[in-house]
Structure 1
Amino acid sequence: MFFLFANTVVVPLSVGAAFGFSPELVASIVKITFIVTGAATIAQAMFGHRYALMEGPAGLWWGLILSLAAAAPSMGMTLPELGGALSAGMIAAGALTSLLGALGFGALLKKAFTPIVMFVYLFLLSSQLIIVFFKSMTGLSAGGRIDLPVAALSVAIVLLVCWIGVKGRGLLGNFSILIGMVAGWAAYRVLFPGPEEAAAPGGGGAWVTFFPLGAPHFEAGVMIAALLAGLINMTNTVTALSAADKLYGLSSTDAAYKRSYHLTALHTAIAGLLGLVPYGPYTSSIGFLESTRILERSALVIGGALFVVLGFVPALGTFFAGMPASVGGAVLFVVYLQLFGSAFRNLQGFSFNAKTVYRMAAPALLGISILNVPADAFAGLPGTLRPIVGNGLLMGVLVSVVLENTVDWAKYDRKL
């Protein structure tokens, strides 16, 4: 439940801040996010892929939404106009995911998304999101400078979780993430006494608000970016299930992939309707499972049910939403270190020379470069291309797919 919470609570808060939502609307969206995330996780574990993998707001979609919101003025769009176009794009992406899943497109994706593409995807995803967690743990999210006392505590939490995870045995090692959260939260309240952080999902907001991002409408550039995001987000299923297969010593069937795609498509369409970030299996769950070594589905189902309760009981949601962002960021920083390791495990068995290194380095470093360019730098591009070219994760993965499926890299291995 703590893992679901830490991965989820910051997402609707950041989207609400990016779109200028009222506190009441943010409260409503946070509650709905808790409920949908818990229910979606249970549905996947019981009826979808049937692994103990979290289903939550997808990092690819989250990054896309925040980057488009930041770039809206340079695109000549108001935030409600952008939000409405995104809502339409999410629903369309959900329909596309379901259709392609039913047609067996997952098998083609598994062939197109080679281990090198998986490396690029996981490398850029972990790089993009760990920056968000780093800003939270150092206090940068609240201002332009690092808050040194908060940052020092966050570093201590990171070291504690890493030390327990490496040195701890049995239950101690299994619960390093939970110990880090509880100990860090308690230490924060002792060292920095004051009012709870204003992130609570209690409030007096309506239970459900339809299309809070804006009235859905068609915008070519945003629609193309959303459909591409939905397509690439399907690789979340490929990546997560492939990694889970290795962890569990099993092999997912085509039927399991199709069930998972249909559920992800449903959750993505619901996200467009309710103003949430679209869903997907969390690849970072692999890092969590490797850290805790608790692989039972029952544990995840119970955690998901408790998370649903947080959404339906405002007092509980209010209490847990009082966890400092720096503490959650510090713990997730460690979790995404594991995801970074998962990225490099895709390179096992590969050797690179002066020519073949481009297949890995070019898309990965192109994506990193774009991630570090301000959104308004792409203002000179046509509106249709801007949402795509300005997203480092999308561009890196697209370039990697093209390179892997158009160049005979084995030929260059033989030449050298």
Structure 2
Amino acid sequence: MTSQGADDAATAEADGGSSFVEYGIEDEPPLSTSVLLGVQHYLTMVGANIAVPLILAGAMGMPAEVTAKFVGTFFVVSGIATLAQTTFGNRYPIVQGAPFSMLAPALAIVATAPALPGSAPWESKLLFLQGAIIAAAVTEVFIGYLGIVGRLRRLLSPVVVAPTIALIGLSLFNVPQITSATQNWWLLGLTVGLVVLFSQYLGDGHRVFQLFPVLLAIVIAWVVAAVLSVTGVYVDGTPGYVDLAAVTDVSLVFAIYPLQWGMPQFEAAFAIGMFAGVLASIIESFGDYHAVARLTGTGAPSESRINHGIGMEGLMNVFAGIMGAGGSTSYSENIGAIGLTGVASRRVVQAGAAVMLVVGFFGPFGQLVATIPNPIVGGLFVAMFGQIVAVGLSNLKYVDLDSSRNVFVIGIALFTGLSIPRYMTNVGGVEAFAEGLASVPVLGGALTALTDVPVLGLVLGIDTVANTLFVIGGTGMAVGGLIALVLDNTIPGTDEERGVEAWEDITEDESDFSPVWSSADD
């Protein structure tokens, strides 16, 4: 372990955080090691960063030859956004990538966007999506740099933060990569088993196993799946099948540049709907920041660090809209990788971002990454998101769990954070949700009796209102976090009981974080 890594470990132990950190945030491993570790960080989020563009491409009816470039654009945006966040934003080692929290409003937009003269239907849909992301992201920039989220930090005790972080991991317990009815459990189990073997049993035996458990697990499981595919054991359509022929069936180099699809189109209703996704993304990122701080033992993030992080995410969302991608936010998968490997170096994440930025222009690379079968991705999710759940719950060490009010708030937040998003999934989409809201009578029927119409129902049935409620209600950490926030700050309880006093003791001072330009001046 480096001297800085040892200092981080000592700090972690003093703060009650993890003491396993191999490379701390400020550590700078050798370049070759940094590149490999950085690629490992990125491979943990490959499932999401490919799934989002593929889902959007399918919804827009995008031609296959364009879809490959669309995926490459997401990798390029991810690389630049990660470099910007780790250098000029919150400076945490968090990968930035395409957010699932913005996917629901994006699908609603592409489903209703009108056709533009002289443009293919998919182009029109994409241009309206770009405009919505840019407009909503501008608001996020102001929310961040005006310090709105940072000020709310004072209302957030461990009673609120613990279920919010835990729900980041729990929210993916039922993704198709894990729970598909046709799941290849053997391959998924092999992936999980390899991660556990390398990270938990063999980690102390050799540095390779300690630093690269995820990368080794992916490579070995992929090679096994590829061999079974080549030999005909797995056929096309079988979970676990690796389509090696697809790697060469794509352009060698893509020309990826701003406004490559045309000039974004702006529609107020679309922007408001997308802002709901941005709000959910902000809540998720807030939880991610605390999770990284908890894992590395660096103290809960200061107000200034949070503000710079959210502000930079807004700027990178604007950039993503200009480039024609689906947005950008912090990636929880990357945080799970920190928990498994103990590698939290900013330089490592930046090295991985640089690699992704370059290879995003090369079609065969994106296609090769896309051949990683869903069962392998699901295995990674099991290992990494379980880690995030545990990190979230570990914050309860600061809370008085003999207090009935604390147990009540935590239980309600976790339960509703799982059940309400499931309802949103079962309701049949945002249109069905809006129709249902439109039929809701006013409580007590008072206004309905006066106007002879369900006034509240009509208001709730407005597209922008329904979209906002649907997106936030479908995001587990947003539901649980908001409910915990309200209950924890309204139900009587002492600061000691809620863990606020202990929380303040481990929160970094405002002077502990300074933007990179301020550091350069010093």
Given candidates 190, 194, 203, the residue that maps to 1:160 is 194
Distance 1:200 1:102 in 2: 45
State which drifts further: 154-163 or 324-333.
324-333
Say whether the 8 Å CA contact 1:19–1:69 is kept in structure 2: no
Given candidates 51, 59, 72, the residue that maps to 2:92 is 51
Distance 1:355 1:81 in 2: 51
The one-letter amino acid paired with 1:242 is H
Say whether 1:260 aligns with 2:309.
yes
State which drifts further: 259-268 or 177-186.
259-268
Counterpart position of 2:318: 269
Say whether the 8 Å CA contact 1:388–1:395 is kept in structure 2: no
Say whether the 8 Å CA contact 1:98–1:261 is kept in structure 2: yes
Say whether the 8 Å CA contact 1:211–1:273 is kept in structure 2: no
Given candidates 420, 426, 436, the residue that maps to 1:380 is 436
Say whether the 8 Å CA contact 2:73–2:324 is kept in structure 1: no
Counterpart position of 2:407: 357
Counterpart position of 2:17: none
Structure 1 residue ranges (4+ consecutive) displaced by more than 6 angstroms after TM superposition: 78-85, 211-214
Scaled by the length of structure 1, what TM-score is found?
0.82
Scaled by the length of structure 2, what TM-score is found?
0.67
Counterpart position of 1:93: 136
Where do 1:15-34 residues align within 5 Å? 15-34=56-75
CA deviations 1:20-45 (Å, max 9, x no partner) are 32223321221111111112112222
Specify whether residues 361 and 63 from structure 1 end up closer, same or farther in structure 2 by C-alpha distance, changes over 3 A only. Answer: farther
Count of residue pairs the alignment pairs up: 399
Counterpart position of 1:185: 222
Distance 1:187 1:26 in 2: 28
Larger Rg: 2
User: Per the alignment, in what secondary structure is the counterpart of residue 321 of structure 2?
Assistant: helix
**Structure 1: 5+ residue runs without aligned partners?**
none
Specify whether residues 320 and 353 from structure 1 end up closer, same or farther in structure 2 by C-alpha distance, changes over 3 A only. Answer: same
Specify whether residues 201 and 367 from structure 1 end up closer, same or farther in structure 2 by C-alpha distance, changes over 3 A only. Answer: farther
Note the aligned Cα RMSD (angstroms). Answer: 3.5
Say whether 1:322 aligns with 2:358.
no
Could you tell me how far 1:84 is from its partner in structure 2? 6.5
Distance 2:156 2:248 in 1: 40
Counterpart position of 2:102: 61
Distance 2:70 2:342 in 1: 32
The one-letter amino acid paired with 2:164 is Y
State which drifts further: 52-61 or 193-202.
193-202
User: Per the alignment, in what secondary structure is the counterpart of residue 298 of structure 2?
Assistant: coil
CA deviations 1:256-287 (Å, max 9, x no partner) are 44433332111111233344232222244332
State which drifts further: 288-297 or 222-231.
222-231
State which drifts further: 286-295 or 381-390.
381-390
Distance 1:327 1:83 in 2: 30
Distance 2:436 2:264 in 1: 26
- Structure with larger RCO (C-alpha < 8 A, sep 6+): 1
Say whether 1:402 aligns with 2:440.
no
CA deviations 1:286-305 (Å, max 9, x no partner) are 32112112232222222111
Say whether 1:146 aligns with 2:192.
no
Say whether the 8 Å CA contact 2:57–2:67 is kept in structure 1: yes
Could you tell me how far 1:105 is from its partner in structure 2? 1.9
Distance 1:200 1:155 in 2: 30
User: Per the alignment, in what secondary structure is the counterpart of residue 60 of structure 1?
Assistant: coil
User: Per the alignment, in what secondary structure is the counterpart of residue 407 of structure 1?
Assistant: coil
Counterpart position of 1:14: 55
Distance 2:467 2:368 in 1: 37
The one-letter amino acid paired with 1:23 is A
User: Per the alignment, in what secondary structure is the counterpart of residue 294 of structure 1?
Assistant: coil
Distance 1:267 1:30 in 2: 17
The one-letter amino acid paired with 1:14 is I
Specify whether residues 84 and 358 from structure 1 end up closer, same or farther in structure 2 by C-alpha distance, changes over 3 A only. Answer: farther
Distance 1:163 1:17 in 2: 37
Distance 2:245 2:413 in 1: 39
Where do 1:58-137 residues align within 5 Å? 58-62=99-103, 65=106, 68=108, 87-132=130-175, 135-137=176-178
Specify whether residues 48 and 354 from structure 1 end up closer, same or farther in structure 2 by C-alpha distance, changes over 3 A only. Answer: closer
Say whether the 8 Å CA contact 1:60–1:233 is kept in structure 2: yes
Given candidates 339, 356, 359, the residue that maps to 2:388 is 339
Specify whether residues 324 and 297 from structure 1 end up closer, same or farther in structure 2 by C-alpha distance, changes over 3 A only. Answer: same
Counterpart position of 1:303: 352
Specify whether residues 366 and 199 from structure 1 end up closer, same or farther in structure 2 by C-alpha distance, changes over 3 A only. Answer: farther
Could you tell me how far 1:367 is from its partner in structure 2? 2.9
Specify whether residues 206 and 301 from structure 1 end up closer, same or farther in structure 2 by C-alpha distance, changes over 3 A only. Answer: closer
Counterpart position of 2:209: 172
Say whether the 8 Å CA contact 2:72–2:361 is kept in structure 1: yes
Could you tell me how far 1:189 is from its partner in structure 2? 0.9
Distance 2:160 2:248 in 1: 39
Distance 1:32 1:106 in 2: 30
Specify whether residues 259 and 214 from structure 1 end up closer, same or farther in structure 2 by C-alpha distance, changes over 3 A only. Answer: closer
The one-letter amino acid paired with 2:98 is P
Distance 2:148 2:249 in 1: 38
Say whether 1:3 aligns with 2:41.
yes
Say whether the 8 Å CA contact 1:268–1:279 is kept in structure 2: yes
